[in-house]
Amino acid sequence: MSDLDRAAAALEAADKVVAITGAGISAESGVPTFRGSGGLWRRYRAEDLATPEAFERNPLLVWEWYWWRRTVIADAKPNPGHLALASFERRLPAFLLLTQNVDGLHAEAGSRQVIELHGNIWRARCTAECDRRVDQRHDPSADVTKLPRCSCGALLRPDVVWFGEGLDSRALDRATLAVQSCAVLLVIGTSAIVYPVAALPAMAKRHGAAVVEVNVAETPLTSHADIVLRGPSGVVLPELERRL
């Protein structure tokens, strides 16, 4: 039985399936990954940009990075990998999608049961107590020369989780409960090194889940996975769906 057939059989037998995705699932949509070849991190040291200290030091530089990333993501469309996960949600008895991605492509592909653990690049939030959130997807006023401000006057920041910041506790609790009670955990397109999300697959395994990794390369998770499907998620996931 091939690994794809084994993975399909595990999905069909599962009462509950959870998927964790990272930047790799959006690579075939033209969104650069963080650490792969040609990734965002090559040209930008994320430690210099995706941190509260960086924003404190130079908010315009941080906004320029996010505005640039928005221009790349604005042209991106969901790829067959995103679409296959949206189909899993419709076809499997219980399916929850946990994503580290901030590009919003899972929702655009039709996934509804999605937890965006690292936030969403199209939202901005107030840096003051008002904590207002603003959807900037259609915000023509994103004038890239001046800093966006909340109606209360304080600076707005990208509504994403930076290094050194805690994830939303309710979202992380939901994600933790889900991986502790699923029969199969799909881990797709992530280098599996950013915590606390990188701790979830081991937690799932401890609670009896079968872990299936979908990646073009080896990661720290590979040796712990029950099934490894080596290949681009835009090819592997539709292949998996065809076997259901």
| Binder among 18, 31, 50, 240 for ligand BV8 (CB under 6 A) | 50
> Integer distance in angstroms from the first to the last C-alpha of the chain?
15
Starting at the edge strand that comes first in sequence, how are the strands of the sheet with 227-230 ordered?
114-116, 95-99, 17-21, 184-188, 210-215, 227-230
Over the window 119 to 138, marking each residue x when it contacts ligand BV8 by CB under 6 A and - when it does not, the resulting string is: --------------------
The yes-or-no answer on residue 82 being catalytic is no
Residue 160 makes contact with ligand BV8 by CB under 6 A: yes
Contact assessment for residue 230 and residue 72, using Cβ atoms and an 8 Å cutoff? no
Q: Does 52 bind ligand BV8 (CB under 6 A)?
A: no
Does 101 bind ligand BV8 (CB under 6 A)? Our answer is yes
| Minimum CB–partner distance for residue 113 and ligand BV8 (Å) | 19
For position 29 contacting ligand BV8 by CB under 6 A, the verdict is: no
Element containing residue 234 per DSSP (H, E): helix 233-242
Interface with ligand BV8 includes 223 (CB under 6 A)?
no
* C-alpha angle 216-25-14 in degrees, rounded to nearest 5: 90
Per CB under 6 A, the list member of 100, 111, 127, 136 interacting with ligand BV8 is 100
Cβ atoms 238, 3 nearer than 8 A: no
Size, binding site for ligand BV8 by CB under 6 A:
36
Question: From CA 177, how far away is CA 21, in angstroms rounded?
Answer: 17
The residue annotated as part of the active site, out of 118, 138, 207, 224, is 118
Interior angle at CA 20, CA 219 and CA 160, nearest 5: 100
Amino acid at 54: A
- Choice between 117 and 150, CB closer to ligand BV8: 117
State which of residues 106, 211, 232, 240 lies at the interface with ligand BV8 (CB under 6 A): 232
Omega into 196 within 30° of 0, i.e. cis?
yes
Instruction: Just list the catalytic residues.
Output: 118
Q: Which residues bind ligand BV8 (CB under 6 A)?
A: 22-24, 27-28, 33-36, 39, 50, 100-102, 118, 160-166, 189-191, 193-195, 214-217, 219, 232-234
